[in-house]
């Protein structure tokens, strides 16, 4: 059974003075209008919310009630930074299983309810709490700094190449009215910004954002009955890796990404990613994460990610535009919303509704790549029109 995306919505990302349910409804109302359906047409609601920085311990309950989905579930899922993709996958799987014909995936997060130090401490628990955070005080920037230094040592990747990923992200986000950051930056801005954890500086890091996104999925049967015009989910790949970083095979890439991509490519019969997609959204919580994603997804050879961004291959006019709406780095990274927002971006691009950020379509296919933690989870979706 085929499954398609028939409606998408996304709130403004940033520091938002609204409740979590109001934030979710911004995205849900847009998605319902986009699909031209009502709450009564939804068979199942899946809410993705990490919920570790908010005041609501059971956010799915209030979100579903406020959005008009009481009795439609709720299912709540959590997979760290990949929670949004887990929500979309749960809705997708329910339709594939014949449990629902039309389902909505809602990703929402209020990240700014706690101060930065508290948020950093919570993020440091994303891996193995007892071994890493409790004994060594590991924070999330430190995890990715470990990846960055390993990549630099082995492949010669430079701080300037990392900075170029940030510059690209901000340039795109400046044209996205829903992005957290609306200002372009320079390489010098990045290199001169405050050091967080060497070699990652302030502008190498994604912001702490509030936000919500929603995607409405429908079965092939519902598409035919209602006359929807879907963007089809052609394939899904998923994987995971060890919680304990000392048990990883290496620190220059993410095995979970590689395995998730292999599964998705096999399902869609893709042998050459660069000749298959018009755009990709990749998980760039830190600039090094985007560079590693190029390699792990097969856009370039291992070790060439720095040159890939330096040569403009991931920009408009390059081999594959990446993170056209600004990515996590500049659009924002509200954990539960991120993976659903990637689907939102892919759908907008494939429908040619991306405005000044629209890419030229040749293959009519898009890829989304969402990571939880530092490769603890990974999802890759392939969408096509």
Q: Which of 10, 49, 67, 81 is catalytic?
A: 81
Q: Which positions ≥6 away from 123 have C-beta within 8 Å?
A: 139, 140
Q: Are 107 and 84 in contact (CB under 8 A)?
A: yes
**Which helix (H) or strand (E) is 187 found in, with range?**
helix 187-191
Q: Contact 147/241 with Cβ under 8 angstroms?
A: no
Is 81 marked active-site? yes
Q: For position 88, what pLDDT does the model report?
A: 98
Please write the tens of the pLDDT for every residue from 174-191.
999 999 999 999 999 999
pLDDT at res. 187:
98
Q: Could you give the CA distance from residue 164 to residue 186 in angstroms, rounded to a whole number?
A: 8
What pLDDT is stored for residue 55 in this prediction? 81
Residues with pLDDT less than 70, the chain: 121, 124-126, 128-137
The four Cα atoms 165, 53, 23, 210 give a dihedral, to 10 degrees, of -20
Quote the pLDDT of residue 73: 80
The pLDDT score that the predictor gives to residue 121 is 66
- For 312: left if phi > 0, alpha if psi spans -120 to 50, otherwise beta; the answer is left
Q: How far is CA 341 from CA 32, 83, 333, 382, in A?
A: 15, 11, 10, 14
Question: CA 232, CA 72: separation in Å to the nearest integer?
Answer: 23
Q: How far apart are CA 315 and CA 312, in angstroms?
A: 5
- In DSSP terms, which residues pair with 239 in a beta bridge? 378
**Side-chain half-sphere CA neighbours of 278 within 13 A:** 21
Residues 6 or more apart from 324 whose CB is under 8 A from it?
Answer: 172, 279, 281, 316, 345, 349, 354, 357, 359
Helix (H, G, I), strand (E, B) or coil at 205: strand
d(CA 67, CA 254): 36
Q: Domain ranges in the chain?
A: 3-114+208-226
CATH top-level class of 3-114+208-226: alpha beta
First to last CA, the chain: 16
What is the distance between the alpha carbons of residues 153 and 75, in angstroms, rounded to a whole number? 44
- pLDDT computed for residue 20 by the predictor: 97
pLDDT at residue 52 in the model? 82
Residues 6+ apart with CB under 8 A from 188: none
Q: At 70, is the secondary structure helix, strand, or coil?
A: coil
Q: What is the pLDDT of residues 55-106, one digit of tens each?
A: 888 899 999 999 999 999 879 999 999 999 999 999 999 999 999 999 999 9
What does the pLDDT read at residue 114? 80
Identify the pLDDT of residue 124.
64
Q: Which of 151, 170, 333, 376 is catalytic?
A: 333
């Amino acid at each position: 059974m085929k499954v398609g995306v028939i409606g998408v919505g996304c709130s403004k990302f940033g520091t938002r003075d609204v409740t979590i349910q109001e934030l979710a409804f911004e995205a849900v109302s847009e998605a319902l209008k986009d699909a031209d359906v009502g709450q009564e047409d939804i068979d199942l609601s899946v809410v993705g919310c990490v919920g570790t920085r908010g005041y609501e311990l059971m956010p799915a309950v209030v979100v579903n009630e406020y959005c008009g989905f009481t009795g439609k579930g709720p299912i709540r899922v959590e997979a760290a930074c990949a929670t949004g993709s887990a929500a979309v996958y749960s809705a997708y799987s329910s339709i594939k299983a014949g449990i629902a014909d039309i389902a909505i995936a809602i990703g929402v997060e209020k990240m700014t309810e706690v101060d930065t130090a508290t948020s950093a401490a919570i993020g440091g628990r994303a891996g193995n709490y007892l071994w890493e955070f409790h004994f060594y005080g590991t924070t999330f920037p430190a995890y990715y700094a470990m990846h960055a230094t390993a990549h630099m040592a082995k492949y010669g990747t430079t701080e300037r190449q990392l900075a170029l990923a940030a510059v690209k992200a901000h340039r795109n986000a400046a044209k996205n009215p829903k992005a957290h950051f609306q200002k372009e930056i320079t390489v010098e801005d990045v290199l001169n910004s405050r050091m967080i954890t060497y070699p990652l500086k302030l502008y190498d890091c994604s912001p702490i954002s509030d936000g919500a996104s929603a995607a409405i999925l429908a079965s092939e049967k519902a598409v035919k009955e209602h006359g929807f015009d879907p963007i089809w989910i052609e394939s899904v790949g998923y994987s995971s890796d060890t919680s304990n970083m000392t048990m990883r095979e290496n620190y220059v890439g993410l095995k979970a990404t590689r395995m998730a991509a292999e599964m998705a490519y096999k399902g869609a019969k893709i042998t050459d990613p660069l000749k298959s997609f018009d755009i990709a959204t990749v998980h760039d919580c830190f600039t090094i994460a985007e560079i590693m994603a190029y390699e792990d997804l097969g856009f370039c050879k291992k070790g060439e990610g720095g040159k890939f961004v330096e040569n403009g291959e991931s920009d408009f006019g390059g081999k594959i535009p990446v993170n056209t709406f600004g990515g996590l780095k500049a659009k924002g990274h509200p954990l539960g919303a991120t993976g659903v927002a990637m689907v939102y971006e892919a759908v907008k691009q494939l429908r040619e509704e991306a405005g000044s950020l629209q890419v030229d379509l040749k293959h009519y296919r898009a890829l989304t790549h969402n990571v939880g933690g530092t490769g603890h989870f990974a999802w890759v979706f392939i969408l096509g029109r």
